[in-house]
Amino acid sequence: MASVLVLVFLAPLMICCRATEKPVDCSDILLQDPDSSSGVYTIYPSDERLGVSVYCDMDTIQGPWTVFQRRMDVLFTGLEFLHKITARGKQELLVEMEDFEGNKASARYSSFYVGAECDGFQLTVSGFTDGGAGDSLTYHNNMKFTTFDKDQDLLSGNSAKQYLGAFWYNSGHETNPNGVYRWGADNTLSALGVEWKTWKGFDYSLKSISMKTHPVQ
């Protein structure tokens, strides 16, 4: 009888604790408030005291998606946060893009993971499904993240400096979402723009590209 009373007493407290837990990703936000709409939210992937602002895409029946990279209004969630999000459990990745003529395409990957800092934030991605864009990301599988001040690619020089971006470069790239934002077709500076090779090649810089992840349903 005493144990039953203890459980009854603790139940409201347990429910309260769950309700006030800070969200780790956009799926947590929707779980806490099913009426949440798409927009910018603060999530806490690594520490309840340290939040990061992300865009949550709630408008799809396949979501919600945590958008960690978006070119058009310059959004990129930190790599440490991205590692924490993808380390929670199996995640999938959706890449959506648009050109300056209003055409849209996508690429989807059923498995997506970003390693810890000690592993160079290594990318693991597989399970490609074509949404019209083709597969420009598998070439970057198993690569570490290269920046101007940290060369972790297979090129003899620094790919971030050569392609004016930061990414999971291989000995080059087939996509450069953090490259120089330019306007459509331009063959004067090849491979420096916001590119997805299998859709528009190296001489076309996209109007927008976004990368978003969520737990596998």
> Dihedral, CA atoms, 175, 178, 180, 183, nearest 10 degrees?
70
For residue 143, the model assigns a pLDDT of: 98
Burial of 34 by CB count in 10 Å (0-12 exposed, 13-18 middle, 19+ buried)? exposed
The answer to the question of residue 123 being in a domain is yes
The count of other CB atoms within 10 Å of the CB of residue 35 is 6
Number of domains in the chain: 1
Beta bridge partners of 211: 69, 95
Residue 55: closest CA among 39, 42, 69: 39
The answer to the question of residue 7 being in a domain is no
10-residue mean pLDDT profile of the chain (217 residues): values are 35 38 88 89 80 83 82 73 91 96 97 96 98 98 96 93 94 93 84 94 93 90
The answer to the question of residue 6 being in a domain is no
Q: What is the CATH number of the domain that holds 208?
A: 3.90.215.10
The answer to the question of residue 192 being in a domain is yes
The answer to the question of residue 5 being in a domain is no
Domain span holding position 155:
21-215
The answer to the question of residue 15 being in a domain is no
The answer to the question of residue 16 being in a domain is no
The answer to the question of residue 121 being in a domain is yes
In this prediction the pTM is 0.82
Contact in structure between 189 and 165 (CB atoms under 8 Å): no
